[in-house]
Amino acid sequence: MITHRRLVEDAAARTRLPSERVARAVKVTLAVLALHLDVPARQRLRQAVPGPARDAAYATVPRSHGTVTDFYGEVAAHLPAAPEQGRRVARAVLSLIARDDPGLARHLVENLPPGFAEAFTAPDAHPERLPGEDAPLTDRELRDALRRRPSWSGDGHRLTRTVGLPRDRVPPLLHQVEHDARELHRRVGHSVSDEGITFTVRTRSVDAVTTADLELADRIDAAVSAVGSGGRPG
């Protein structure tokens, strides 16, 4: 049985999207899929999916005869996201439907054009980064990013920030930073010395600084401000 809560929670794990975007990703995937189905299949899909996504799973417009690649592109365009991320999101959502209702998945695949079966298979589990997030920053982008983040320094391979705090503030800061990193599905390096805590952010798979690292750096800055009030920021 497909339940909304389980579908959204598991889709969040498979897509690595922020929690506030997952429910929309589910609706977008089902809405675009419905366009590729005939009316009886749309009705069966609508009956099977949970309430919050039910209306998205039905359409009254003529059926699309596009390919599975077209389907992924339409999902990406409505998110909006990079094409490869649209593919990952669509496969994550539909593979969960196949897991929870195999009979429905078989019926839908039979009703869809050839090639759609792969859309109901799970994407690679937990990559380090999402497609579209892996492009290293250009020299100009890096300079602009550091100008907006004066507490950080580094080069195209990694960024660092050292924070000086009273000893009792160190554990809560580390806890918050590690929580933020997990939420963003990133890794953060840190070391503790007499000068304080030094955080390091980078995308290991491309050995470079990417936009995802800047998001993590901003979350670290916010954690320093929140947890380290009264301390001595580095």
Domain end, chosen from 67, 85, 120, is at: 120
- What is the residue type of 23? A
d(CA 196, CA 166): 9
CATH of the domain at 106: 1.10.490.110
**pLDDT 10s digits, 146-182:** 999 999 999 999 999 999 888 888 899 999 999 888 8
Indicate yes or no: pTM above 0.85.
no
Answer whether residue 181 is part of any domain: yes
103 with 145, same domain: the answer is no
Q: Is it the case that residue 210 has pLDDT exceeding 80?
A: yes
Q: Which of 203, 204, 201, 196 is nearest to 224 (CA)?
A: 196
57 with 11, same domain: the answer is yes
**pLDDT 10s digits, 119-129:** 999 986 644 44
**Lowest-pLDDT range of 61-65, 125-129, 192-196:** 125-129
Q: Residue 175: which domain range?
A: 139-227
Q: What is the pLDDT of residue 134?
A: 61
- In the predicted model, what is the mean pLDDT of the chain? 85
In this prediction, residue 229 has a pLDDT band, given cuts at 50, 70 and 90, of low
CATH of the domain at 203: 3.30.1360.20
104 with 194, same domain: the answer is no
112 with 79, same domain: the answer is yes
In Å, what is the CA distance from 193 to each residue of 43, 170, 214?
Answer: 62, 12, 24
Contacts of 177 by beta carbon, 8 Å cutoff, 6+ apart? 188, 190, 199, 219, 220, 223
**pLDDT 10s digits, 82-110:** 777 788 899 999 999 999 999 999 999 99
Q: What is the pLDDT of residue 93?
A: 94
**Lowest-pLDDT range of 58-62, 96-100, 224-228:** 224-228
Three-state secondary-structure class, residue 205? coil
Q: What is the pLDDT of residue 88?
A: 87
Number of helices and strands (H, E) in the chain?
A: 10, 4
Average pLDDT rounded to a whole number, residues 206-223: 88
116 with 159, same domain: the answer is no
28 with 114, same domain: the answer is yes
Domain count, the chain: 2
Contacts of 102 by beta carbon, 8 Å cutoff, 6+ apart? none
Residue with tokens 């749309």, as numbered in its chain: 42
Average pLDDT rounded to a whole number, residues 61-79: 92
Q: Which helix (H) or strand (E) holds 41?
A: helix 39-48
Average pLDDT rounded to a whole number, residues 46-57: 84
86 with 149, same domain: the answer is no
Residue with tokens 């892996």, as numbered in its chain: 134
Q: Where do the DSSP E strands lie in the chain?
A: 153-154, 159-163, 189-193, 196-201
195 with 101, same domain: the answer is no
Q: What is the pLDDT of residue 226?
A: 86
Three-state secondary-structure class, residue 133? coil
Q: Which of 27, 205, 200, 39 is nearest to 131 (CA)?
A: 205
**Lowest-pLDDT range of 26-30, 98-102, 134-138, 162-166:** 134-138
Rg (CA), the chain: 22
Q: Which of 171, 192, 186 is nearest to 217 (CA)?
A: 186
